[in-house]
């Protein structure tokens, strides 16, 4: 039984013996003791003052004296309404022994009753994936793994935005300036090839608009009346009407992009259970709109456009179909949501999308609710902040983006150079070097992004991310490799530690500190799942790696003369290595056996 449960049970007995009202569960607040005070776990005393009708200090002393009778509590102290409890070494020893033998420590068994659907990536087929997509993909993939670790059945889905005016812009650009060239002809990945066409269109379009404005036209009118945008809009109309020529070109160019996407996804270690395409889901969306019109939930205006009035929900009117019958984003999202619910009957549908879409997903859920879908409340937007480079924001229309593939290449190249300079790769074969360099580079990229609270904007600094010291992926990976090296030496020395539930010595502060962090891992996994925040895992694993390195510096392990203490430290090392590996895996990061 965990120490938190032991303390909670003892508190219940204490209040019963004192004939006092039982405190509500929410009043029992246990937390890690702050470093400046003696103790391992702290009970907040203030909620019990009213029940016991005594001062904070007196309340803490009474409860502390009672809890000290427990075999798991060694001592206590009270500081300003906080009861700091020192846990017995025997408890930590038992915990380390049992947990180091548990191959699933920190994770919950699967519960077939709950299915969670996580949508992430959601790229447009007019450009390659960039740094912003990397954060999206890494968050979605990690959140999916964390939810699985919490016992959920998880389905990872991707919605590809493969239709719309932006797609038609690239198609028109290829017709005008592509000269029938293919990506293979140009020696480029398909997504990069199409992305350059999109940039060409935007530059030509802006030039045309500027000319119209120069000749006296209002800027807004110029943007609508420019011949290029009108041609793109006509192509979109033809596409939705099923024009064979337009559809063939659309399929061909999207195929080029998908091949490019797949390469990037493999490099990121990202995969999906199912991919949906807006070119399919918008049909379902239109059918839902027709259903809404029949139910009088939606209304058609004189120009033929279809709207929903959400003013009674504190919002405004929302367009669902344009006057020419073409759909908008919310239309296809309605169709996608219904298709997914029909496919998976999910208890929860998460959308990993940037915070600029907060309003959109609020409206989506409200519309589904107004349409009578009982599961509308199960939609949840995992809103995350923007990611930038130190140089500033990215602009895809101008081609000023940090391409995902180029960034990955840069990270791996930097990892190779730094590893060689530090002598991390000495004595390895070329294949081993390449594997470890790739692992370090990708670990640096993923960890630097995932350690930040998803809701916050962040600046990605490639140089900082790959430092072997500090709060970085390589530092944690190196700690794991150090532990594996230690355990290998023990094995080669013929040392086989024995599991003993009793010990005849007091643990040091470093040993109990390390055990206490390991003890927090299951709670961190639970909190990360509840908050959809990989940062909770990342920061605990960093704290664990840092604490282990301090422990390793101050305490001998294999050379420890007390055999029981040596064995305890070996199991402490085993559990630390396992938790680092499991925690990093939840972030989608591999840890090498050697570095």
CATH of the domain at 551: 1.10.730.10
What angle is formed at CA 444 by the lines to CA 439 and CA 445, rounded to 5 degrees? 105
- Same domain, residue pair 190 and 313: yes
Contact criterion met (CB below 8 Å) for 63 and 14: yes
Phi, psi of 540 (to 5 degrees): -70, -40
Q: How many residues belong to the chain? A: 595
Q: Is residue 100 part of a domain?
A: no
- Same domain, residue pair 414 and 489: yes
Closest CA to 139 of 441, 456, 436, 388: 456
569: left (phi over 0), alpha (psi -120 to 50) or beta: alpha
Q: Is residue 93 part of a domain?
A: no
- Spatial distance between the Cα atoms of 56 and 83, rounded to a whole number of angstroms: 9
- Same domain, residue pair 345 and 234: yes
Which is it for the CA torsion 186, 188, 191, 193, positive or negative? Answer: negative
| Contact partners, residue 121, CB within 8 Å, separation at least 6 | 133, 136, 137, 140, 158, 265, 270, 272
Q: Is residue 592 part of a domain?
A: no
- Spatial distance between the Cα atoms of 447 and 565, rounded to a whole number of angstroms: 34
- Same domain, residue pair 192 and 67: no
- Spatial distance between the Cα atoms of 16 and 25, rounded to a whole number of angstroms: 15
| Contact partners, residue 181, CB within 8 Å, separation at least 6 | none
Element counts in the chain: helices (H) and strands (E) = 21, 14
Domain boundary among 398, 415, 440: 398
The number of domains in the chain is: 3
Domain span at residue 178 reads 120-398
- Same domain, residue pair 312 and 413: no
- Same domain, residue pair 288 and 354: yes
- Give the three-state DSSP class for 130: strand
Render each residue's pLDDT in the chain as its tens digit; 595 residues: 899 999 999 999 999 999 998 999 989 999 999 989 999 999 999 999 999 999 999 999 999 999 999 999 999 999 989 999 999 999 999 999 999 999 999 998 876 689 999 999 999 999 999 999 999 999 999 999 999 999 999 999 999 999 888 999 999 999 999 999 999 999 999 999 999 999 999 999 999 999 999 999 999 999 999 999 999 999 998 998 899 999 999 999 999 999 999 999 999 999 999 999 999 998 899 999 999 999 999 999 999 999 999 999 989 999 999 888 878 889 999 999 999 999 999 999 999 999 999 999 999 999 999 999 999 999 999 999 998 877 654 444 444 568 899 999 999 999 988 888 877 778 888 898 899 999 999 999 999 999 999 999 999 888 888 888 889 999 999 999 999 999 999 999 999 999 877 777 889 999 999 999 999 999 999 999 999 999 999 999 999 999 999 999 999 999 999 999 999 999 999 999 999 999 999 999 999 998 8
Q: Is residue 112 part of a domain?
A: no
Q: Is residue 551 part of a domain?
A: yes
Domain boundary among 342, 373, 398: 398
- Same domain, residue pair 576 and 466: yes
- Spatial distance between the Cα atoms of 235 and 528, rounded to a whole number of angstroms: 46
Contact criterion met (CB below 8 Å) for 42 and 85: yes
- Same domain, residue pair 390 and 417: no
- Spatial distance between the Cα atoms of 311 and 306, rounded to a whole number of angstroms: 16
Looking at the DSSP bridge assignments, the partners of residue 389 are 392
Give the CATH number, domain containing residue 275. Answer: 3.40.50.620
Largest CA distance in the chain: 91
- Spatial distance between the Cα atoms of 308 and 25, rounded to a whole number of angstroms: 44
Q: How is residue 114 annotated by DSSP?
A: -
Give the CATH number, domain containing residue 57. Answer: 3.30.1360.70
Is-above-0.85 flag for pTM?
Answer: yes
Contact criterion met (CB below 8 Å) for 33 and 39: yes
Q: Is residue 440 part of a domain?
A: yes
Neighbours of 230 (CB within 10 A): 11
Extract the tokens encoding 349.
């549908």
- Count CA within 13 A, CB hemisphere, residue 65: 5
- Same domain, residue pair 386 and 427: no
Model pLDDT, residue 398? 46
- Spatial distance between the Cα atoms of 562 and 79, rounded to a whole number of angstroms: 36
C-alpha separations of 173 from 184, 308, 383, 595 in Å: 18, 36, 34, 48
Model pLDDT, residue 1? 80
Place of tokens 């060694």: 74
Closest CA to 171 of 279, 251, 237, 277: 251
Domain boundary among 398, 418, 445: 398
């Amino acid at each position: 039984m965990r120490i938190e449960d032991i303390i909670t049970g003892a508190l219940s007995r204490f209040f019963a013996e004192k004939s006092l009202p039982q405190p509500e569960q929410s009043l029992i607040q246990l937390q890690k003791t702050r470093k400046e005070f003696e103790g391992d776990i702290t009970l907040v005393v203030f909620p019990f003052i009213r029940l016991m009708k005594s001062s904070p200090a007196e309340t803490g002393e009474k409860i502390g004296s009672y809890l000290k009778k427990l075999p798991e509590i060694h001592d206590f102290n009270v500081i300003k309404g906080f009861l700091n409890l020192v846990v017995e070494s025997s408890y930590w020893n038992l915990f380390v022994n049992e947990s180091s033998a548990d191959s699933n420590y920190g994770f919950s068994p699967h519960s077939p009753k709950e299915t969670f659907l996580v949508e992430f990536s959601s790229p447009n087929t007019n450009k390659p994936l960039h740094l912003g997509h990397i954060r999206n993909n890494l968050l979605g993939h990690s959140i999916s793994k964390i939810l699985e670790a919490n016992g959920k059945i998880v389905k990872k889905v991707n919605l590809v935005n493969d239709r719309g005016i932006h797609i038609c812009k690239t198609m028109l650009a290829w017709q005008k300036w592509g000269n029938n060239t293919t990506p293979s002809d140009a020696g480029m990945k398909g997504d990069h090839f199409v992305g350059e066409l999109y940039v060409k269109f935007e530059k030509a379009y802006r030039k045309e608009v500027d000319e119209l404005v120069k000749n006296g036209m209002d800027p807004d009118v110029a943007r609508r009346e420019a011949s290029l945008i009108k041609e793109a809009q006509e192509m979109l109309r033809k596409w939705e009407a099923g024009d064979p020529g337009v559809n063939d070109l659309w399929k061909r160019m999207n195929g080029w992009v998908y091949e490019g996407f797949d390469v990037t996804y493999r490099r990121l270690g990202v995969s999906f259970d199912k991919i949906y395409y807006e070119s399919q889901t918008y049909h379902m969306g239109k059918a839902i709109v027709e259903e809404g019109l029949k139910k009088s939930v939606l209304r058609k205006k004189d120009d033929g456009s279809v709207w929903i009035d959400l003013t009674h929900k504190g919002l405004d009117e929302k367009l669902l179909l344009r006057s020419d019958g073409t759909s908008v984003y919310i239309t296809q999202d309605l169709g996608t949501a219904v298709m997914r619910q029909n496919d998976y009957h999910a208890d929860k549908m998460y959308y990993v999308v940037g915070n600029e879409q907060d309003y959109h997903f609020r409206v989506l859920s409200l519309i589904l609710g107004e349409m009578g879908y009982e599961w509308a409340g199960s939609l949840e937007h995992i809103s995350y902040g923007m990611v930038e480079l130190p140089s500033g924001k990215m602009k895809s229309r101008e081609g000023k983006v940090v391409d995902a593939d180029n960034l990955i290449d840069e990270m791996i190249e930097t990892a190779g150079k730094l590893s060689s300079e530090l002598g991390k790769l000495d004595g390895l074969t070329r294949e081993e070097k390449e594997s470890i360099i790739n692992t370090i580079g990708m670990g640096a990229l993923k960890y630097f992004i995932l350690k930040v609270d998803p809701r916050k904007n962040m600046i990605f600094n490639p140089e900082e991310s790959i430092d072997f010291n500090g709060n970085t992926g390589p530092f944690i990976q190196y700690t794991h490799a150090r532990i594996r090296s230690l355990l290998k030496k023990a094995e080669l020395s013929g040392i086989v530690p024995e599991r003993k539930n009793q010990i005849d010595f007091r643990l040091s502060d470093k040993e109990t500190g390390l055990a206490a962090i390991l003890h927090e891992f299951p709670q961190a996994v639970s909190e990360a799942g509840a908050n959809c925040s990989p940062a909770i895992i990342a920061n605990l694993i960093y704290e664990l790696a840092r604490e282990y390195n301090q422990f390793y510096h101050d305490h001998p392990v294999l050379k420890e003369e007390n055999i029981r203490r040596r064995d305890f430290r070996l199991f402490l090392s085993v559990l630390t290595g396992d938790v680092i590996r499991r925690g990093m895996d939840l972030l989608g990061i591999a840890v090498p056996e050697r570095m």
